Structure 1
Amino acid sequence: MITYMCKNNHFQELQLLHYGTEACAPGHHFGPAMRDYYKIHYILDGKGTFEVGGKKVELRKGQGFLIVPHSVVHYEADQNDPWEYSWVAFQGSTCPSLLQQSCLSEHHPIFELGNDDDEIRSCLHRMISSRNTHKGWEISMTGLLFQFFSILIDRASEDRPIPFQDYTKETYVTQVMDFIEINYANTITVQSIASHVGLQRSYLCSLFKDKMGTSIQSYLVNYRMRRAAELTLDPALTIGDISRSVGYADQLLFSKMFKKVMGEAPTYYRKHKTAPSHLCS
């Protein structure tokens, strides 16, 4: 196994954490366990199995799989034809967008390039054969990671992602709530949520309200305000700090919404309230 670490990556948008390649022994496995960063494996030869969320799929040369943070996974090399793979581990603010454009997500973690995979093999080879011997090495490696994603995005097509999990209405609702939990501090819209989930806006809104009894917009506002209520307990944060931390650049609008949801202005809430038991964990 060859592993290379990137300890001093200063690119917050996309950080390459480590990368490598391994010709696995028969039955070599990882998990069930989770990572706290994103990781993509690409199978160069052989085969094995990948399992997440109680679903298992057999994978082979020319395919790959995504691991998302905090998702329990298990993967194992075949006993008779164990796989050899390369991997890249990464994190950063652009990851959700890059993965979405690549048609990859927690619920659709599998991709396939088949035999026509010279580009991605070349990119991975350049990455793995690179050495930290010059000042621009870190920039070069980040560039190669962006190139890696550009290949995946270019190859994404209507027949991808490979079906991995039966989608139910509850699945889409969970995706919406997960997206809000991760992105509530950013400027997001119902349309951006619908694009992430992969459904038409009107249909997703109807589905969500039917299952949750409230609109996506109301759920987002309430989630932000409950998070804000937690932050008011930190005396080091100003109301402006809290407002921006939950996605409101306009402090006056934030205060108005906070009072509407919590029943009190944020300054009053801070002075007279303790941590309510109903707040988000």
Structure 2
Amino acid sequence: MITYMFKNNQFEELQLLHYGTEPCTPGHSFGPAMRDYYKIHYILNGKGTFQVGGQTYKLHKGQGFLIVPHSVVSYEADQNEPWEYSWVAFQGSNVVSLIQQACLSEQRPIFELHNDDELRSCLHRMISSRNTHKGWEISMTGLLYQFFAVLIDQASETSHPVVQDYTKDTYVTQVIDFIEMNYANAITVQAIASHVGLQRSYLCSLFKDLIGSSIQSYLVNYRMRRAAELTLDPSLSIGDISRSVGYLDQLLFSKMFKKVMGQSPTQYRKQKTAPSPLRS
């Protein structure tokens, strides 16, 4: 059974294209051929073979495989115990980050789950869903994010895939995006590392190598730049500004503001809002 979605620009970050499940007949095969989108198969029962990049993987229940765009692949159900699998096909700007966090790549396309109850539940809800309400596409995109959340949660903590330079840039971008979205909250470097999916010490080292400052320093500087912008709004008190950039302690905020901007918030506001002197 295959269910197709329609292209919707509302979901450019992650878009579910189609999904389904199939109990295969013995020897049922696909390829060699390529796709122009990402696709993940998860084996519910039985066995089969997956081939990509000159490698052959003999797979069984509880394992899955990733297909990346423009990669020539083939797969075939076992003659004696043909597999039954579910799949999801998807694309979007967030995909590379999500599959990296799940420790998957074109060179490392296989995963195995020791407990697949959550994944099976997610796939069942996806496949049994019907387009009967206005929020259906949003609901399906949410289920796809849940699908990835399960893969990421169960990705081996002892696995350390090789991180190429473009991957490092991706992680740094995620840190910056997280700070820009959450600077007003009481966030920590550990919370950022958990969000990105890397060990705190490794992420801090990576970030400093590429940006030239620590994550904590970047966070403080970003908060103070935002605070400086807010001082131009006369309707906001210094306390309002302090809380708006994540500081409940106004004295600490003023101390950090002066350290970064060279002036207290009040002095900065007076300087920036003072009328320009008239010229003769």
TM tier, smaller? 0.5 to 0.7
Query: Is residue 121 of structure 2 the alignment partner of residue 127 of structure 1?
Result: no
Partner Cα distance (1:7, 1:107) in 2: 30
Q: CA deviation at 1:56?
A: 0.3
Structure 1 unmatched runs, 5+ = 181-186, 205-215, 217-281
Q: CA deviation at 1:158?
A: 3.0
Which residue in 2 is equivalent to 1:61? 61
Indicate if the aligned counterparts of 2:97 and 2:170 stay in contact, CA closer than 8 A: no
In our comparison, the structure showing a higher alpha carbon Rg is 2
> TM-score, length-normalised on structure 1?
0.58
Partner Cα distance (1:25, 1:11) in 2: 35
Runs of 4+ in 1 over 2 A off after TM superposition: 158-161, 187-192
Equivalent position SS for 1:135: coil
Indicate if the aligned counterparts of 1:47 and 1:83 stay in contact, CA closer than 8 A: yes
- Deviation track 1:117-141 (CA, whole Å, cap 9, x = no partner) reads 1100000000000000110000000
In structure 2, do the counterparts of structure 1 residues 135 and 189 end up closer, same or farther at CA, with 3 Å as the change threshold?
Answer: closer
Q: CA deviation at 1:189?
A: 7.5
Which residue in 1 is equivalent to 2:112? 112
Which residue in 2 is equivalent to 1:147? 146
In structure 2, do the counterparts of structure 1 residues 189 and 38 end up closer, same or farther at CA, with 3 Å as the change threshold?
Answer: closer
Letter in 1 for 2:15: Q
- Deviation track 1:258-280 (CA, whole Å, cap 9, x = no partner) reads xxxxxxxxxxxxxxxxxxxxxxx
Structure 2 unmatched runs, 5+ = 174-195, 211-280
Could you tell me the percent identity over the aligned residues?
70
Q: CA deviation at 1:8?
A: 3.7
Which residue in 1 is equivalent to 2:30? 30
Q: CA deviation at 1:157?
A: 1.6
Which residue in 2 is equivalent to 1:49? 49
Which residue in 2 is equivalent to 1:88? 88
Partner Cα distance (1:141, 1:77) in 2: 28
> TM-score, length-normalised on structure 2?
0.58
Equivalent position SS for 2:97: helix
Indicate if the aligned counterparts of 1:111 and 1:160 stay in contact, CA closer than 8 A: no
In structure 2, do the counterparts of structure 1 residues 154 and 190 end up closer, same or farther at CA, with 3 Å as the change threshold?
Answer: closer
Q: CA deviation at 1:159?
A: 4.6
In structure 2, do the counterparts of structure 1 residues 4 and 189 end up closer, same or farther at CA, with 3 Å as the change threshold?
Answer: closer
Indicate if the aligned counterparts of 1:17 and 1:89 stay in contact, CA closer than 8 A: yes
Letter in 1 for 2:118: E
Partner Cα distance (1:189, 1:109) in 2: 19
Which residue in 1 is equivalent to 2:15? 15
Partner Cα distance (1:157, 1:8) in 2: 33
Q: How many residues align?
A: 183
Q: CA deviation at 1:153?
A: 0.7
Indicate if the aligned counterparts of 2:3 and 2:18 stay in contact, CA closer than 8 A: yes
Which residue in 2 is equivalent to 1:256? none
Query: Is residue 165 of structure 2 the alignment partner of residue 137 of structure 1?
Result: no
Equivalent position SS for 2:11: coil
Partner Cα distance (1:42, 1:159) in 2: 22
- Deviation track 1:182-209 (CA, whole Å, cap 9, x = no partner) reads xxxxx947977xx99xxx89xx9xxxxx
In structure 2, do the counterparts of structure 1 residues 77 and 136 end up closer, same or farther at CA, with 3 Å as the change threshold?
Answer: same
In structure 2, do the counterparts of structure 1 residues 76 and 138 end up closer, same or farther at CA, with 3 Å as the change threshold?
Answer: same
Indicate if the aligned counterparts of 2:21 and 2:87 stay in contact, CA closer than 8 A: yes
Partner Cα distance (2:11, 2:103) in 1: 23
Q: CA deviation at 1:97?
A: 0.6
